[in-house]
Amino acid sequence: MDLKQTFKTNNPVIGVVHLLPLPTSPRWGGNLKAVISRAEQEATALAAGGVDGIIVENFFDAPFAKNNVDPAVVSAMTLIVDRLKGMVTVPIGINVLRNDAHSAIAIATCVQTEFIRVNVFTGAMATDQGLIEGQAHELLRYRRELGSDVGILADVLVKHARPLGTPNLTTAVQDTIYRGLADGVILSGWATGSPPNKEDLELASAAAGDSPVFIGSGANWENISQLMQAADGVIVASSLKRKGNINETIDPIRVSQFVEAAQTTVQEKKSQKTDSSIKVHN
């Protein structure tokens, strides 16, 4: 994935819109207008705060279906994403939880958004939904069949899951990119709100080569200066909510603080590279 072309920056900050429960989910409230209204408010707050992209998730549909979600979920997400696309100018991604990548890429292709997130793309993971196996071979063929150029950002050793067997991080990243053909990889901590450590991000970046590596969880304005030194971009949700509470709505002030901290880190990285280049040249 060409970050500069997609996000107009080499180090994007991607905020997350967590949709309220959708039709057929256990906590569905029966009012789709309320879901749409909150999604619009959150997307607008993220864009106003300066994020470079937005990803839309059916986060509050838990407990999640393992693979294929109900058609009503696909219909609702398509409607909502289409509405958001008309309200914000930043690129939009889709993550259909827990692992319905086929629906995600179908929605993205039809609505003409830029990317999707896939939690289990290659390998096999033991999760709270049971055993989930990656289906990169089917998804890539489906994307080709759709005539789509939607980017695929794939988690590596995703949160809330444990791998079957004991693959090391380097191998998992390389398999995801070079055998699964993901456009970029995402590294998260062990759970929602838990960050990856800097050493793992450095290993992932080394293994990924020219492909981008995203921080997938746990980033906040206090730790982003450390984490962003070893990553190309960040996907952030919890720390942008009011009081940092995952159940609250997006706080525009926290968005601005986070974006500013991330951008400061990026500028420092550029300065360090420039200084190193000057020293080598001299």
What tens digit of pLDDT does each residue of 223-252 get?
A: 999 999 999 999 999 999 999 999 999 999
pLDDT of residue 276: 55
pLDDT at 5: 92
Report pLDDT digits (tens) over 103-121.
999 999 999 999 999 999 9
Provide the 8-state DSSP code for 244. Answer: G
C-alpha–C-alpha distance, residues 37 and 20, integer Å: 10
Reply yes or no on whether the pLDDT at 147 is more than 60: yes
Percentage of the chain lying above the pLDDT 90 cut: 84
Cis peptide before 21 (omega within 30 of 0): no
Q: Is 96 exposed, middle or buried (0-12, 13-18, 19+ CB in 10 A)?
A: buried
Mean pLDDT score, 67-79: 97
Residue labelled with tokens 């200084």: 275
- Residues making up the chain, counted from first to last: 282
Q: How far apart are CA 85 and CA 104, in angstroms?
A: 15
Residue 189 has a pLDDT of: 86
- Can you give the pTM of this predicted structure? 0.92
Q: What pLDDT is recorded for position 192?
A: 77
Lowest mean pLDDT among 21-30, 74-83, 193-202, 207-216: 193-202
For the chain, what is the largest distance between any 2 Cα atoms, rounded to a whole number of angstroms? 67
24: left (phi over 0), alpha (psi -120 to 50) or beta: left
8-state DSSP, 76? H
Cα dihedral: 165, 134, 190, 60 (round 10): -150
pLDDT of residue 246: 92
CATH number of 3-281: 3.20.20.70
The predicted structure's pLDDT at residue 105: 98
**Residues ≥6 apart with Cβ < 8 Å to 5:** none
Q: What was the pLDDT predicted at 142?
A: 98
Element containing residue 88 per DSSP (H, E): none
CA–CA dist 208, 211 (Å, integer): 5
Give CA–CA dist 41/61, Å, rounded. Answer: 19
Residue 158 confidence (pLDDT): 87
Q: Which ranges in 53-135 belong to alpha helices (H)? A: 71-85, 101-111
The CA angle 222-173-142, to the nearest 5 degrees, is 110
What are the tens digits of pLDDT across the range 121-144? 999 999 999 999 999 999 999 999
The domain locations on the chain are 3-281
